[in-house]
Homo-oligomer: A and B are copies of this chain.
């Protein structure tokens, strides 16, 4: 049993903590919190140990029982998943070094915080046995999963992507834009270079804009391939690619809101969608260029990656076994024996 601590209990941290509890080879040693939030009470009522990171007095009024501070959590953990907002992961690294505990950081941190950046199906081996690994951001994860599949199958001359990014997460009641479109004025956007921390051999250039929606990001891709597959062959490749879900034309799922509704209907906790979703009808080839639109659930797609990174760093599993185990564990109960919608 690997004892895993989670530092930071926000959008990603709460999901990673839930996912750890679903693994039969891991145990959640506890989670940290800066200050009281109803989520901490929910966690405690489900038997999760809470450790403070900051000022214990901010919990005084909450009746929340604290198990100790982050040092106590680290003493009791083989590895931690740091889900703090940037740049707190980098600040926390010294603590992990001091306690000689392996650590996973999230994609908001700079790549050089870790020995490897990670997307399970692309470079699992790079993380094996490492002490510090960075799971890349939701957008980089999404780009890496599909571009890597194309690179392996046909070779990629160059990949271009326009990222249409969500303004804020669903729980946010501030953040923007409310009614405007904001182009990112960095060229390339940081996502392209970030993809190359995972698949360095591919030439990727990305641009990004933010739009007033909270549900998912959408990437609009154009990829020059070395090979010349048919549209059908590419769709079939995507169907066979792990953690990529092709939305069949006949299912008439037309928008990010439709995708989120499907995930809710399927019974995933919080309506999460861990797969990158590609609209089948949007896949097409024009000359040498392959075009496709894909949707990325920013709250969820990196969750299975964090679980696989734990297995890689602890050296207890190969890629395929870990990914299969992780994906099966995250399915809603009634889907566990079915091969549903995929």
Q: Check A270 against B262 for contact (C-beta < 8 Å).
A: no
Distance, CA A310 to CA B331, complexed state (A): 32
Q: How many copies does the complex hold?
A: 2
The answer, yes or no, to whether A284 is at the interface (CB within 8 Å) is no
Contacts of A45 in B (CB 8 A): 338, 340
Q: Which of A116-124, A221-229, A252-260 lies at the binding interface? A: A252-260
- What total of chain A residues lie within 8 Å of the partner, measured CB to CB? 40
Contacts of A266 in B (CB 8 A): 42
Distance, CA A61 to CA B171, complexed state (A): 39
The answer, yes or no, to whether A269 is at the interface (CB within 8 Å) is yes
Distance, CA A334 to CA B47, complexed state (A): 11
Q: Check B265 against A271 for contact (C-beta < 8 Å).
A: no
What 0/1 pattern do residues 27 to 65 of A give for CB contact below 8 A with B? 000000000111101100110000000000000011000
Distance, CA A340 to CA B41, complexed state (A): 9
Contacts of A341 in B (CB 8 A): 38, 41-42
The answer, yes or no, to whether A155 is at the interface (CB within 8 Å) is no
Contacts of A39 in B (CB 8 A): 265
Distance, CA A257 to CA B299, complexed state (A): 15
Q: Check A250 against B171 for contact (C-beta < 8 Å).
A: no
Q: Check B261 against A170 for contact (C-beta < 8 Å).
A: yes
The residue of chain B having its C-beta at the shortest distance from the C-beta of A259 within the complex is: B171
The answer, yes or no, to whether A187 is at the interface (CB within 8 Å) is no
Cβ-defined partner of A62 (8 Å) among B179, B250, B271: B250
The answer, yes or no, to whether A242 is at the interface (CB within 8 Å) is no
Q: Check B252 against A37 for contact (C-beta < 8 Å).
A: yes
Q: Check B173 against A14 for contact (C-beta < 8 Å).
A: no
The residue of chain B having its C-beta at the shortest distance from the C-beta of A272 within the complex is: B264
Could you list 10 A-B pairs, sorted by A, with CB under 8 Å? Answer: A38-B265, A41-B341, A61-B250, A170-B261, A171-B257, A171-B258, A173-B257, A264-B271, A265-B270, A333-B333
* Given A38-B252, A42-B341, A173-B254; 15 other pairs, CB 8 A cutoff: A38-B341, A39-B265, A41-B341, A42-B340, A46-B334, A62-B250, A170-B260, A171-B257, A171-B258, A171-B261, A173-B255, A173-B257, A179-B179, A214-B257, A267-B269
